[in-house]
Amino acid sequence: MERLDEAHHSDPLLIAYLAERQLWLTQLRWIAIGGILGAVTVAARSGLIARALPLLLVVAFMGIYNLIFWRLSKANSDQVSAPLLQKRVFLQVLLDLGALTTLLHLAGGVENPFVLFFAFHMAIAAMLLPLKMALYLGIAASVLHGASVFAEFAGVLAHHPLRFAPSLSDSFLSNFAVWRSPSFLLGYLLAFVLMLFGVIYFVHSIAARYRHAETLRQEQERLALSRERLAHIGEISAGVAHTIRNPLHGLLNCVDILRSKGAQNDSIQDTLSLMSEGLQRIENVTQRLLVLTREAPLQKTSNDINTLVRDALDFMEVQSHKKRVKIEMDLKEVPVMQLDANQFSEALLNVLDNALDACTNGGAITVRTYVSGQKDPVVHIDIWDTGEGIAAEHLPRAFDPFFTTKAIGKGSGLGLGIARRVIDEHGGKIVLESEVGKGTRVSFLIPLKSREEQPEGTVT
């Protein structure tokens, strides 16, 4: 529910949340209608109000539009979207504000203590709607109630007083009527507006914090589930990889021997080449499985991150040249760090390999290193590509083992999982951002330790 201010048309979680809240709002309104009917009945019988019929007509109107929205909320439509649901909630609250303004006008105006009910509507708007829409409703409430108050003051609308003391004459009560005092009305409306926008601000802030915390909790649960799944897969995969590795090497050796015999038949040579390529692909997958599932401790030494980046790019140079992919570097001054060079290079190569595969028709890969923050500095390694990008619905699964959007035989779906495991073990995190048609950015964020724990000197 984090993206209320930028609703995605097809976000199923947001749509489900708004649909459930819309139904809740109609149910809450049925309770409010019942409460208003009871209050009007009591007020009419006790002589607190002169006429009950106008109030009952407003309540009837509320019942009609609430029935319409209740039917809409119960209908299961495949065409519903988050913006549409937000517009429905906006319209409901706007109608409620109009009804509440009319009810207050017919029952005492500024004398009626139920004016505080405007705050409930602002709280609902701040919880369920983007901030801009909630502010629009705050403005609407201010205009509606303010216009009603000033219209009564100017004599455009008749004032309908509450008769708290029927034994006193109307002329006596009118001399003490607060709705006739300009200074009181100005102060009242100022306090009213401040109350509305104060409620919107505080409720929206609290709701935003709650949604952020809920998003973090869900992300932690997803990561825990992913690690648990990876552990189960790892137990099976490691056994399979160890089992097939030796016979696989034997097959590769046999193919190499046959090719070295110099078979004259070109078709046989082509077949042997295909066999060698296929077996090598299997060997690469088994090697990655072993890397992903191993639990070897990090062998940290003092390393220059920029040197590791250059070495990885040099390793990819031949492949990038074949695919006509331009590689650019922007390496800033970065302190020497304690890293496991082999595993860190493996993480870099996996991400670079994915970036290269994504650039199907040329393109470019940019690698940038820099340090951010002064109090708690963090080393960044950003790898951009101008490839095809990853669809939004696939991003949450991008780090899952064996998940890939590449064609069959073109990828194992293990590269990002290996990279995240390595960066996690170094105390950092990996961030993935992508947009279809524009490309992908993978960022390694590794916190620097205190200067006392770091080797002296910096490198470029």
Q: How do the pLDDT tens digits run along the chain, 460 residues long?
A: 444 554 444 566 777 888 888 889 999 999 999 999 999 999 989 888 888 999 999 999 999 999 999 988 877 655 678 888 899 999 999 999 999 999 999 998 888 889 999 999 999 999 989 999 999 999 999 999 999 999 989 889 998 887 764 444 444 445 446 667 888 889 999 999 999 999 999 999 998 888 788 878 877 887 777 667 666 666 666 666 656 666 766 777 777 777 776 655 667 777 777 777 677 767 666 666 666 556 557 788 899 999 999 988 988 888 888 888 888 999 998 889 989 888 888 889 888 988 888 887 778 999 999 998 877 889 999 999 988 888 877 777 777 666 666 555 455 566 787 788 888 888 898 999 988 888 899 999 999 873 344 444 444 4
Of 70, 85, 68, the residue nearest 16 (C-alpha):
85
* CA separation for the pair 230, 254 (Å, rounded): 34
pLDDT at 296: 59
Residues in CB range of 447: below 8 A, 6 or more apart = 376, 377, 378, 379, 427, 428
Specify the pTM. Answer: 0.53
User: Quick check: 235 and 228 in contact, CB under 8 A?
Assistant: no
Handedness of CA 303, 305, 311, 312 (dihedral sign): positive
Of 312, 316, 255, the residue nearest 280 (C-alpha):
255
Residue type for 120, please?
Answer: F
pLDDT at 37: 94
Residues in CB range of 261: below 8 A, 6 or more apart = none
Structure tokens at 162: 């509450």
User: Quick check: 413 and 403 in contact, CB under 8 A?
Assistant: yes
Residues in CB range of 378: below 8 A, 6 or more apart = 371, 372, 445, 446, 447, 448
pLDDT at 452: 40
Q: Assign 362 to helix, strand or coil.
A: coil
